Amino acid sequence: MTEINYWLMKSEPSVYGINHLKDEQETLWDGIRNYQARNFMRTMEIGDQAFFYHSNCKPPAIVGLMEIIGTKIIDPTQFNPNEKYFDPKSLKKAPRWDCVKVKYLKIFTNPMSLNDMRELYSSEEMPVLRKGNRLSILPISQAIAKDLTRRLE
């Protein structure tokens, strides 16, 4: 059995927060319009887990955990002109954007704020701490994921 990979996936709680996912149980993680974040998503496998990170709020924090349950899905929002994430250059015969399907696992009883992460980890260990990093999807090492899980529960 291969080890699962871990990710940090950001969303603004006012747009789509952990409670939205808890209510819905499953959702498409769509609307990613950064090529590097999209490429990270393309390497995800079913069974991988992602830490749900609330961004652009006070305080930004890891608040929950979700599982990747669908991969290599064409993002439907790129084709709909009424969608916020419509991409007129993306064609149905040659789509630019993918998404994954995620499933709610849990809300952490002790969320970890960005400031807490800065005290515990280096920017090499935790990519979200790197100056200027605005990616919405980031890989997390096995060691850091295990440590985070222990601290968050």
pLDDT digits (tens, 9 = 90+) for 57-103: 999 999 999 999 999 999 999 999 999 999 999 999 999 999 999 99
Query: Distance between CA 112 and CA 62 in Å, rounded?
Result: 5
pLDDT digits (tens, 9 = 90+) for 17-50: 999 999 999 999 999 999 999 999 999 999 999 9
Whole-structure pTM value: 0.94
Query: Distance between CA 115 and CA 29 in Å, rounded?
Result: 26
Q: What is the pLDDT of residue 43?
A: 96
Residue 151 pLDDT > 70? yes
pLDDT classification of 1: cutoffs 50, 70, 90: low
Over range 4-19, report the average pLDDT: 96
Domain ranges (residues) in the chain = 6-152
Q: What is the pLDDT of residue 101?
A: 98
pLDDT digits (tens, 9 = 90+) for 72-81: 999 999 999 9
Instruction: Give the contacts of 61 (CB within 8 A, at least 6 positions apart).
Output: 53, 54, 111, 112, 113, 114, 116
Over range 130-135, report the average pLDDT: 81
Query: Distance between CA 85 and CA 33 in Å, rounded?
Result: 8
Q: What is the pLDDT of residue 131?
A: 79
Cis amide prior to 59 (ω within 30 degrees): yes
* Nearest CA among 99, 98, 108, 91 for reference residue 18: 108
Query: Distance between CA 86 and CA 76 in Å, rounded?
Result: 9
Name the fold adopted by 6-152.
Answer: ph1033 like fold (3.10.590)
